[in-house]
Structure 1
Amino acid sequence: MAFSQNNNSVEIRLCTAVNDAVRARNAVELASIVLLEPPFPPIYEELVQSLRNNYPQNANNSDSRLDQLVRKAVTETAEYQDEQGKPVQGWNAMVTFLVGWMTFLRDMDLDNLLHTYQGLKDLQERQANSALTHPIKGVLILPTIVNYARVFSRVALGLDKHPELIQHLLTSNDEGSRESLSEKAANVVRVAFTQCLNDRVGTQDKKLGIYKMANICLKILFQADKPESCETIFKNITNSSPPLHLYPKPEQVTYLYYLGRYHFANTNFYAAQLVLDHAYDLSSQRPQFIKQRRLILIYLIASNLILGRSPKQDIYALPEAQGLHAIFDPIAKAIKSGDLEKFRRITNTDLSDPSAGWLMKFRIFYQLGNYCEVLVWQSLFRTIYRLTGQEGGSTTNSAAVLDLNAVHVAFSYLEAQAKIKNGQFSEQGRGAGRRNFGHIFQDHASVSKSSYIDPDFAGVEGVEPYNHEVDLAEVECICATLITQGFVAGYISHQTQRLAISGARRPGGAVKNGFPAPYGVIKSKNSDNVLGWKKDAGGGTQGQVIRMSGAKAAGE
């Protein structure tokens, strides 16, 4: 933005440019004038120097003189009458904002990140957000607020990485946990989000900023590892927002990504895959968006694995899926085959598997380990039934039966194998020419049993290392869990220690009907209505007219 060249002071030229933008209702032009972060054009260097000379920080009347200057030059902030002759309140908050913006530039110290944060917080919280509240002209500052919120969030996240600078700023909430600087920043940005969401005046143009502001808040909270703090945002959007599909696709994709991650973190994996799948479909396939598509795909694959759906192999050939085959395919194969040993090795909490660090980085390690285990159990039960089970069917009145003692043997063997530290050593005994006497007799004690005793109990008589071993009662509990969750159809006979499997007489037999596909089971228990995903105009927006066609997104 170039100010007009005349003999007026740079402050007057600035205010004149602002006044012209407000008169023209040009919000984007206004945002291009009130810049916030360097590098600045030369005219802004002149402005800063003039402010320091003519309106110095240490002068008591500097702010009041700037206030008078702004009111004189930016006449669009004065009270006026509308087309019907009704008075419209003045935009006094805009005057305060412009004064605050100029003093922020005057006092800015790029070497003092904490001072910059405090100045930005005041500018965003007390001045910019207040200017947004004007019922008619407030929407003009929305792109400016979006830009400021992005800068503010970057500074807050940067400071969170230097806790030694901000200890005195941290406060405790009602639960006793500390509220980080990032959370404080998100709360400041959330004020503007709420104002956009609750706009009930005129054409409701402020609603254009709902998802822009929400995405900035969500970015702050996720980078600060506070996904639980996002729930209020999603509930408010569900209750009061226009449908998501009315907004630009980039905003939709970003919002759905964070919404999917929120549901994933809250173990609502069915909702997560619905949201992430739509985000992936909407995301651009242009090369510059590969990173974004990759992030969505990582959580989408993880969600589907937990739901019992493995990705097709051609997915791994996509540019955004580079390297994901080595991470997810071993897990998918272990689930499908019921390979409990391999699954235990991949999800071992000692993080010894090569993929563990990567899974931890994306915060999906424990979800995969905890929630895919039941799918491995189902596959293992099904495999053992195929090998040892008694088939029922139309030619016999007996039900399909699986001896739980056979399951006990398989579980005990695989769990013991998984405890062997050296995975290659555990492979011995599988196949001709690879046997050793220890594994023939299932004697894994020398390589699988723990010898660890806590130093506090070392030497205490009777204290022995704990080594968990699967017994038949635990196998029955696992079987009951599968039945309760719907992954096995049947019932347990405790007297005979057998599992009676339903569906042997139906098409597909006991294998298909007794061990149903997990995704279908999970889907039947869930709804496609997802918290935070506003698909229609129901709820809090009924009866409202929201003019979105032809509107530019806030901040563009």
Structure 2
Amino acid sequence: MTGQTPILDEFLASIANLVRDRNGAQLQDFLQIEPPLPPTYERMIQELHQQYPPGPQSDTELQRRCEPLVPKTKGGSSWTAFPSFMRMYFTFLRDVNVDNLLETYNLLRALLNQCVLALGDSQNGVVVLETVLYLSKVLARLAMGLDRRPELIAHVLRKEGTDSDASMEKVTLVEKSANVVREAFIKCLTDRSGATGRNARPEGKRKGIYLMANLCLKLLFQCGKLRNAEQMFASISAQSPPLEYFPASQRVTYLYYLGRYLFANNMFYFAKIALQASYNQCHRQAFSQKRLILTYLIPCNIVMGRFPSQRLLHKPEAEGLGQHFEPLCRLIVRGDYLEFRKHLDFSSPTAQWFAKKGLLLTLRNRCEILVWRSLCRKVFVHAGFHGDPQAQAQRGPPPYLYLEKLAVATRWLQTRHKDSTPNGYGEPHPDSIFFGSQTISLPFHPEFAGLDTARSINPSGPDFGMLKEFGDYLAPAGVFDEEGGWHQNPENVLIEAVPDLDYTGYQMNPVGIDHGIVAVPRLLRGYLTHSNPRFAIPGARLRGALPTGFPNVSQTILEHESGDDRVPGWVQPPPPSANGAPRRGGGGGGGGRVVNLSGAKPVGMA
């Protein structure tokens, strides 16, 4: 067909020269697929329609025209995947119908698949690295566009659904695209054409490790398949060169997705380090990118007890974030757990933005612990026993808070929300018992039947059968009064068995499951007493009751978490020791080391 297709002939000659010169960037510029195409490409498409119309024979002839593009060797060319890719490129230009988006997607995915096969060649694959990235980006945009507007292909998907096995999980177009991009990522990661040591600078296809990883992670986050990213991070930890050897744009993007992944898996300390590093390395004028990072860095810090400062929220990149996070922080400080639940209720307009960002469930579950802690602290400040500063160290009780007072404060909050259950709607059920974030309708347990009438039946001598099981709780040997004085109870009289107010319908679970009031590890330092139930704070004489019993949340969490500075998925070169040799963990598998950022300047956090 030479002579009848002058534009195609010239195009093939240019491609052959680029392959011979191993000019991958220029090759990618030639292989355009996005409309509108230049007039030269339109004329070449006309030549393809005239000389190579759709059909097996024409495609075979077109394949034969593409075979000379690969340089010949003594044993013949082994890069057979590239001529097949070029043939599919020409048939794509010839056959694509942009009005049929699903067909366009399938043709483009097949083209990218073939290009990834060409990328796998150990000698020449690096030539198509830029082309693989270009085609991957186009496929990703098309897949995510269709994912946001499923009505465009709903009729086709319904037909496919009737033909497939109903028991099999449906794979979305975005997930299919991520699977193709992941194959390209694997080929870049496992390339052995250049230096392959753990600390060797990236060469050849290894330069594309984080380019392909970032695009694949973007697709996985889009389709909500974060579990599929776990193997990617493990592979990067085991085989990737240090992240700092790659350009800043790749580092910032990768650390952003790594931080979001760690945040979604409740690894907040590591997520904070990754997101903070991403924010610090982001270009100062990239406001939209910085705002995206702050969208997850701020709640990560809130969960860890560190609220955003006004200075941060007034920065250009934080515009609009304050209206979402400031009310949440105020509710945490107030300790009003019912208003907090109402604020983050699924039907609340405020919660819709958090849900869209994938933050709602984490904030609801994790921040309620801080809300209960604030409530407990406020009740202690106003109604707790803070200790006698004049007493000697060996005398007098430690500071404490009667749990009954905490329960009364809880009932007071509930009376302020008479028209709201913890979900925000309707009256609370009379037999409801509040367990953390849930309201469980539960009848009164038969084991405790008769406790309310025990004193009236036998005011001076309680039921000894009951005391046998609950004696240390109901009739202790003695109690401290509100002034801290000790009072003996030799006659085993019931102590505070019947509360002054009837709040049996609002019982609390202070030592129960994860969201119990005092079941907050390290955030409340003290112990519970079964006799005359109280929350006691020992060792408060030196620092005071509040700093001892209610330590700073952020500092407490950082002290506990900062012992291990290795961030999963973040490969860092091993820091040198005093004699210049790598420290422990350097050069081995299982991930690199992360720079300790505990002393770094924060991004305006209070």
Secondary structure (helix, strand or coil) at the match of 2:99 reads coil
1:134 correspondence with 2:133: no
Alignment of 1:379-418 (within 5 A): 379-392=374-387, 395-396=391-392, 397=395, 398-418=397-417
Amino acid at match of 2:155: E
Amino acid at match of 1:142: L
Q: Does structure 2 conserve the Cα–Cα contact (< 8 Å) formed by 1:244 and 1:533?
A: yes
- Distance 1:504-1:159 versus aligned 2 partners, 3 A rule: same
Query: 1:190-216 CA deviation, whole Å, 9 max, x = no partner?
Result: 100000011112354111111111111
1:37 correspondence with 2:34: yes
Secondary structure (helix, strand or coil) at the match of 1:482 reads coil
Amino acid at match of 1:315: L
> Could you tell me which residue of structure 1 aligns to residue 277 of structure 2?
278
1:61 correspondence with 2:57: yes
1:365 correspondence with 2:357: no
Q: Does structure 2 conserve the Cα–Cα contact (< 8 Å) formed by 1:483 and 1:489?
A: no
Query: 1:86-111 CA deviation, whole Å, 9 max, x = no partner?
Result: x7953211111111111111111111
> Could you tell me which residue of structure 2 aligns to residue 428 of structure 1?
none
Amino acid at match of 1:378: R
- Distance 1:350-1:146 versus aligned 2 partners, 3 A rule: same
Alignment of 1:247-396 (within 5 A): 247-286=246-285, 289-351=286-348, 354-392=349-387, 395-396=391-392
Deviation of the 1:419 alpha carbon: 5.0
> Could you tell me which residue of structure 1 aligns to residue 132 of structure 2?
145
Query: 1:444-500 CA deviation, whole Å, 9 max, x = no partner?
Result: xx984469xxxxxxxxxxx99xxx976455235489663551111111012211111
Q: Give the percent of matched residue pairs that are identical in Structure 1 and Structure 2.
A: 36
Cα distance in 1 for residues equivalent to 2:166 and 2:90: 37
Cα distance in 1 for residues equivalent to 2:107 and 2:428: 60
Query: 1:311-357 CA deviation, whole Å, 9 max, x = no partner?
Result: 11111111121222221112112223423343233123332xx4222
Q: Which deviates more, 261-270 or 473-482?
A: 473-482
TM-score with structure 2 setting the length: 0.74
Amino acid at match of 2:254: Y
1:114 to 96, 102, 107: 102
> Could you tell me which residue of structure 1 aligns to residue 474 of structure 2?
none
Cα distance in 2 for residues equivalent to 1:231 and 1:56: 45
Secondary structure (helix, strand or coil) at the match of 1:38 reads coil
Cα distance in 1 for residues equivalent to 2:421 and 2:323: 20
> Could you tell me which residue of structure 2 aligns to residue 17 of structure 1?
14
Q: From the CA coordinates, give the structure whose radius of gyration is larger.
A: 2
Cα distance in 2 for residues equivalent to 1:494 and 1:358: 44
> Could you tell me which residue of structure 2 aligns to residue 189 of structure 1?
181
Deviation of the 1:512 alpha carbon: 0.6
Secondary structure (helix, strand or coil) at the match of 1:179 reads coil
Query: 1:286-322 CA deviation, whole Å, 9 max, x = no partner?
Result: 1xx3222111111111111111100111111111212
Query: 1:414-462 CA deviation, whole Å, 9 max, x = no partner?
Result: 2342453599xxxxxxxxxxxxxxxxxxxxxx984469xxxxxxxxxxx
Q: Does structure 1 conserve the Cα–Cα contact (< 8 Å) formed by 2:332 and 2:371?
A: yes
Q: Does structure 1 conserve the Cα–Cα contact (< 8 Å) formed by 2:258 and 2:274?
A: yes
Amino acid at match of 1:517: N
Higher normalized helix content (fraction of residues)? 1
1:498 to 534, 537, 543: 534
1:180 correspondence with 2:179: no
- Distance 1:307-1:21 versus aligned 2 partners, 3 A rule: same
Alignment of 1:455-494 (within 5 A): 471-477=506-512, 482-483=518-519, 485-494=521-530
Cα distance in 1 for residues equivalent to 2:230 and 2:415: 42
Cα distance in 2 for residues equivalent to 1:222 and 1:258: 8
Cα distance in 2 for residues equivalent to 1:202 and 1:360: 45
Cα distance in 2 for residues equivalent to 1:223 and 1:253: 18
Deviation of the 1:168 alpha carbon: 5.3
Q: RCO (CA 8 Å, sep 6+): is it higher in 1 or 2?
A: 1
1:103 to 67, 72, 91: 91
Q: Does structure 1 conserve the Cα–Cα contact (< 8 Å) formed by 2:403 and 2:535?
A: yes
Q: Which deviates more, 147-156 or 357-366?
A: 357-366
Stretches of structure 2 lacking an aligned partner (at least 5 in a row): 196-202, 431-441, 444-502, 575-586, 593-606
1:210 correspondence with 2:198: no
Cα distance in 2 for residues equivalent to 1:324 and 1:369: 18
Cα distance in 1 for residues equivalent to 2:591 and 2:311: 44
Q: Which deviates more, 530-539 or 358-367?
A: 530-539
Q: Does structure 2 conserve the Cα–Cα contact (< 8 Å) formed by 1:345 and 1:418?
A: no
Cα distance in 1 for residues equivalent to 2:256 and 2:63: 43
Stretches of structure 1 lacking an aligned partner (at least 5 in a row): 1-5, 81-86, 424-445, 452-462, 544-556
1:534 correspondence with 2:571: yes
Query: 1:170-195 CA deviation, whole Å, 9 max, x = no partner?
Result: 69999943222211111111100000
Cα distance in 2 for residues equivalent to 1:230 and 1:98: 31
Deviation of the 1:112 alpha carbon: 1.0
Q: Does structure 2 conserve the Cα–Cα contact (< 8 Å) formed by 1:480 and 1:492?
A: no
> Could you tell me which residue of structure 2 aligns to residue 94 of structure 1?
82
C-alpha root-mean-square deviation of aligned residues, in Å?
Answer: 3.1
Q: Does structure 1 conserve the Cα–Cα contact (< 8 Å) formed by 2:511 and 2:519?
A: no
> Could you tell me which residue of structure 2 aligns to residue 429 of structure 1?
none
Secondary structure (helix, strand or coil) at the match of 1:492 reads strand
Q: Does structure 2 conserve the Cα–Cα contact (< 8 Å) formed by 1:400 and 1:501?
A: yes
- Distance 1:13-1:355 versus aligned 2 partners, 3 A rule: same
Q: Does structure 1 conserve the Cα–Cα contact (< 8 Å) formed by 2:420 and 2:428?
A: no
Cα distance in 2 for residues equivalent to 1:469 and 1:346: 26
Cα distance in 2 for residues equivalent to 1:389 and 1:517: 19
Secondary structure (helix, strand or coil) at the match of 1:177 reads coil
Q: Does structure 2 conserve the Cα–Cα contact (< 8 Å) formed by 1:412 and 1:469?
A: no
2:548 to 502, 505, 513: 513
- Distance 1:233-1:99 versus aligned 2 partners, 3 A rule: same
TM-score with structure 1 setting the length: 0.81
Count of aligned residue pairs for this structure pair: 488
- Distance 1:254-1:367 versus aligned 2 partners, 3 A rule: same
Cα distance in 1 for residues equivalent to 2:504 and 2:250: 51
> Could you tell me which residue of structure 2 aligns to residue 79 of structure 1?
73
- Distance 1:528-1:169 versus aligned 2 partners, 3 A rule: farther
1:522 correspondence with 2:522: no
Q: Does structure 2 conserve the Cα–Cα contact (< 8 Å) formed by 1:173 and 1:179?
A: no
Q: Does structure 1 conserve the Cα–Cα contact (< 8 Å) formed by 2:509 and 2:516?
A: no
Amino acid at match of 1:475: P
Secondary structure (helix, strand or coil) at the match of 1:208 reads helix
Query: 1:98-145 CA deviation, whole Å, 9 max, x = no partner?
Result: 1111111111111111111111121111x1011101112110100000
Secondary structure (helix, strand or coil) at the match of 1:166 reads helix
Q: Does structure 2 conserve the Cα–Cα contact (< 8 Å) formed by 1:260 and 1:271?
A: yes
Q: Does structure 1 conserve the Cα–Cα contact (< 8 Å) formed by 2:343 and 2:351?
A: yes
Amino acid at match of 1:156: A
